[in-house]
Amino acid sequence: MEMIEVRNLKKEYRIAKKSTGMMGSLKHLIMPQYETLEAVKGISFRINEGESAAFLGSNGAGKSTTIKMLTGIMKPSDGTVRIMGKDPFLNRIENARRIGVVFGQKSQLWWDIPVIESFRLLKNIYGIPEEQYNRNMEKFGEILGLHDFLSQPARKLSLGQRVRADLAASLLHEPPILFLDEPTIGVDVAAKQKIYEFLRETNREKKTTILLTSHDMKDLESICQRLIILEKGKILFDDTIDKLLKKYGGEMSLEEIIIRLFEYDVLV
C-alpha cells in the first residue's frame, strides 16, 4: 500500500531584496523589490507501507521544508502531496490523527506538567482506548526507560529523556506513518541506542512507515533501509543503503561514501 506520494513538489519563498543602510530601507519601503528562493525544486517519490526511508543532505538542501509540507504544516508552491491518499494541508486535522511527528528541536509535551500528565492529555485528545493506552505505556516504558522520569515536568528532562518521551507521545495513538526531523540531535550514545531499538521494533512489529531526516549516519544505518539524498532542492539519489554500499563501498563506511560522492559530484 502506498502511504506517501509526492509529485513534482515545489516550495518557493519571496525574500526582500534591499540595499544596506537607512537609504536602502527607505527605498525598499517606497519601491519594494523581492527575489524568489527555490527551496524545493520539483521532487517526486513514493514510500510504501512499512518502509523506513531517510532524507540526507546539507543544510538548506530542502529536507525540513519537505517534511513540513508532508505533515501539512506548510503549503506547497506547486506539485502534489498525498498522505494515505489525501492532501495533508487541506485535511490537516484528519492527517494529524494518522501521523506521528517528532522534531528534534521542538517538543509536543506540556512544559510545566509531569510527563505522565502530557500522555494522559494526548490520550484524551486522540480518543485512545484505555486498553491500548495502558499496553503502549507499558511497552514504551520498558523499551525507552520512561518510568525513571514520568513524574518530572518536561522542562526538567535531559535532551535524551525528552526525545524518548516525544517518541512515545507521537506513537501513543498508533499512527501508520511517523515523521522524524533530526530526532537524535544532541542526544548521547546510550539514549540513541534506546531510540534505535524502539524505532526498529515499531517498524518491524507495527509496519509503521518511517521517514527520517538526519545528519547522523548512525541514524540512517540503524533505522532506515532506503536513502533519499537531497541537494539544493533536488533529489540526487533514491535507492537502498545496501545498493549504495555495494556500488561504492569496498572498505569505506557509509559516511565516507557520502562525503566522496558529494566531493566529486557523481550522484545523478
* Whole-number pLDDT of residue 219: 80
Q: Which residues of the chain have pLDDT under 70?
A: 18-19, 21, 23-28, 249-250, 262-268
Cα–Cα distance measured from residue 20 to residue 190, given in angstroms and rounded to the nearest whole number:
48
- Residue 246, judged by CB atoms within 10 A of its CB (0-12, 13-18, 19+), counts as exposed
Q: How crowded is residue 245: how many other Cβ atoms within 10 Å of its Cβ?
A: 15
DSSP tag of 74:
S
- pLDDT at residue 24, rounded to an integer: 59
Of 165, 171, 139, nearest in space to 152 by CA: 165
Set of cell numbers at residue 214: 538526519
Q: Where are the domains of the chain?
A: 2-264
Q: What is the pLDDT of residue 113?
A: 95
Identify the pLDDT of residue 268: 44
Q: Tell me what pLDDT residue 28 has.
A: 60
Pairwise CA distance, residues 236 & 266, whole Å: 9
Q: How crowded is residue 102: how many other Cβ atoms within 10 Å of its Cβ?
A: 23
Q: Which CATH class is domain 2-264?
A: alpha beta
How many residues comprise the chain?
268
